[in-house]
Amino acid sequence: MNTSPAPHRTAPLPRSFRLLVTGGGTGGHTYPALTAVRALRSRLAAEGRTAEVLWIGTEDGLEARVAPAEGIAFKTVATGKIRRSANPLKMLSAANVKDMARVPLGVAQARALVSEFRPDVVLATGGYVAVPAGLAARLCRRPLVLHEQTVRLGLANRKLAGSATRIAVSAESSLALLPAEIRDRAVVTGNPVRPEVLAGHADKAVQTLGLAGFDRRLPTVYVTGGAQGAQQINAVVSSALPWLLTHANVIHQCGPANVEELRTTAAALDPVLARRYHVTGFVGPELPDVLALADVVISRSGAGTLAELTALGKPAVFVPLATSAGNEQAHNAQHLADAGAALALLGEVTPDRLTEAVGPLLTDPAQRSAMAERARAHGRPDAAARLVDVLLSTAAG
Question: Is there a domain that residue 6 lies in?
Answer: no
* Calpha distance 44→328 (Å, rounded): 34
Note whether residue 317 is domain-resident: yes
User: Which structural domain range is residue 118 located in?
Assistant: 17-192+381-396
Q: Is the domain of 199 the same as that of 180?
A: no
Nearest to 276 by CA among 301, 246, 304, 253: 246
36 is a domain residue: yes
> Of 277, 335, 276, 281, which Cα lies nearest the Cα of 305?
335
Contact assessment for residue 309 and residue 336, using Cβ atoms and an 8 Å cutoff: no
Nearest to 123 by CA among 309, 311, 389: 389
Do 267 and 180 belong together in one domain?
no
DSSP string, 57-88: E-TTSTHHHHHHHTT-EEEE---------SST
Do 176 and 245 lie in one domain? The reply is: no
In a domain, 161, yes or no: yes
Strands (E), the chain: 17-22, 51-57, 73-76, 121-124, 144-148, 166-169, 186-188, 220-224, 249-253, 277-280, 296-299, 316-318, 343-344
Domain count, the chain: 2
- Phi and psi dihedrals of 32, rounded to 5? -60, -40
Q: Do 170 and 203 sit in the same domain of this protein?
A: no
Is the residue at 8 inside a domain? no
Strands 249-253 and 51-57: unpaired
pLDDT at res. 370: 98
pLDDT at 319: 96
- 297 and 159: one domain? no
258 in the same domain as 373: yes
H-helix or E-strand spanning residue 284? none
Same-domain pairing of 217 and 237 = yes
Same domain, 27 and 65: yes
Residue 219: give its domain's CATH number. Answer: 3.40.50.2000
Confidence (pLDDT) at 3: 46
Note whether 65 and 166 are same-domain residues: yes
Q: Which residues of the chain have pLDDT under 50?
A: 1-8, 10-13, 83, 85, 91
Note whether 269 and 175 are same-domain residues: no
**The whole model's pTM is what?**
0.88
Q: Is residue 2 part of a domain?
A: no
Q: How far apart are CA 271 and CA 273, in angstroms?
A: 5
Closest by CA to 112, choosing from 78, 86, 87, 145, is 78
Kindly report, residue by residue over 346-371, the tens digit of the pLDDT.
999 999 999 999 999 999 999 999 99
Q: For the chain, first and last CA: distance in Å?
A: 48
Angle between helices 231-247 and 259-267 (to 10 degrees): 30
Residue 181: inside a domain, yes or no? Answer: yes
Domain shared by 176 and 258, yes or no: no
* 107 domain residue, yes or no: yes
Please check whether residues 57 and 184 belong to one and the same domain.
yes
